[in-house]
Amino acid sequence: MRKYKVTFLSLIIISGFISCKKSENSPEQKKEVDIFVAGGISNTPNLVLTACYWKNGQLVKVDPTTGTSKANAITVVGNDVYMAGNTSVNSSSTVATWWKNGKPNYIAEAFDLYGIALKGSDVFVVGSTFKNGIYTATIWKNGVPTYLTTGRSSATGIAINGDDVYVTGFITEEIIGSTACYWKNGIQTLLETKKPAPQSQTYAIQIVDNDVYIAGMVGVTAVYWKNNEKVELQKMSDPSLQYFAFSIYVKNEDVYLAGATQETLYNEGRNPVYWKNGTIYNLESKPADMMFVSSQAKAIAVDGNNVYIGGNHSEEPTYFWKNGFLQTLDTGGKAYNVECNAIILSPK
């Protein structure tokens, strides 16, 4: 396994904005926030996950099921906590699920959800529907589906800006493969239009002051798009590495992304990294080893000078970073498997 000398730092994904009040005669006052981390936890050796979230490090599990469950996304409105993910009753039956304060709501025609957002009392979730023998990117509003394409496609994230609803994802065509795109109010925009083109996908979105930021990858390069303009992120010296950017967070014009590297030449597992303004940083982690040990950063958010990142590791029970270093989360006893897939900061 190759080693790199790279600076340690950190990040996390966040939805919602933090406002500060300023008077003419007093310094800017920082608002305190609650840190919510969504994912799954297993307290049994069989590694079966139960969807959960942590509020300021304290564990809250969803209502128990007879199978496995996990959350991929989270948002908080007032005192209500919403999550989206999946529930599996058995190995052959997985159903898309979203939770409000731990109570499940099922979407039978889908197997997983990757984003959730609210507009007033309306709940929007995104994922893929198995329709006519293929998986199709879909958005549900209060349980009612809208199919974003008629072909093979995936929806990976959602953001709402005023009356506009944005969904990230990619379309998949035979021979060509996947092409990064997003939908605004159901209208598709391709982010990669050259043909032939390398594989490309999008994973997350944030909208700041009407600027649209989308995280993803093109070929072996991690990228983000700002208002459809692509920015390639820094690579390491090893030419055999592939890069993924799974989440994005923008604060005071600084752009943070969380993701992973993967050595494609030797088919090794992933190592967690993040970027700030395009510069790559490693995160504290056990090194990957031939696919048997693997770790990645899945979510990122920033509060003041603190950067929070959530992720997972194939041989460690908890992977949550603050300023580049691993932190301890409440696991409610011995933990055999933990995933930290999404983060949001909510003003207190």
Residue 184 has pLDDT above 90, yes or no: yes
33-347 maps to CATH 2.120.10.30: yes
Q: How many CB atoms lie within 10 A of CB 310?
A: 30
pLDDT band at 239 (very low <50, low <70, confident <90, very high): confident
What pLDDT score was predicted for residue 16?
38
Residues ≥6 apart with Cβ < 8 Å to 125: 84, 96, 98, 107, 113, 115, 116, 139, 140, 158
Could you give the CA distance from residue 342 to residue 146 in angstroms, rounded to a whole number? 24
Token pair belonging to 309: 């990142």
Residue 312 has pLDDT above 90, yes or no: no
- Stretch 307-334: mean pLDDT: 87
Residue 40 has pLDDT above 50, yes or no: yes
Q: Quick one: 320 exposed, middle or buried, by C-beta within 10 A (0-12, 13-18, 19+)?
A: buried
Per-residue buried b or exposed e for 156-180, using 16+ beta carbons within 10 Å of the residue's own CB: bbbbebeeebbbbbbbbeeeeebbb
For residues 191 and 200, the answer to whether their CB atoms sit within 8 Å is: yes
pLDDT band at 261 (very low <50, low <70, confident <90, very high): very high
Residues ≥6 apart with Cβ < 8 Å to 178: 170, 171, 172, 199, 200, 201
Long-range contacts of 3-7 (CB under 8 A, 24+ apart): 3/287, 4/236, 4/237, 4/238, 4/282, 6/236, 6/273, 6/280, 6/281, 6/282, 7/281, 7/282
Q: What is the mean pLDDT of the chain?
A: 87
Q: How many CB atoms lie within 10 A of CB 118?
A: 15
Could you give the CA distance from residue 98 to residue 258 in angstroms, rounded to a whole number? 24
For residues 82 and 134, the answer to whether their CB atoms sit within 8 Å is: no
What pLDDT score was predicted for residue 6?
34
For residues 69 and 100, the answer to whether their CB atoms sit within 8 Å is: no
Q: What is the four-CA torsion angle of 9, 15, 21, 22, rounded to 10 degrees?
A: 40
Pick 126 or 295 by higher pLDDT.
Answer: 126
Task: Tell me the whole-structure pTM to 2 decimals.
Answer: 0.88
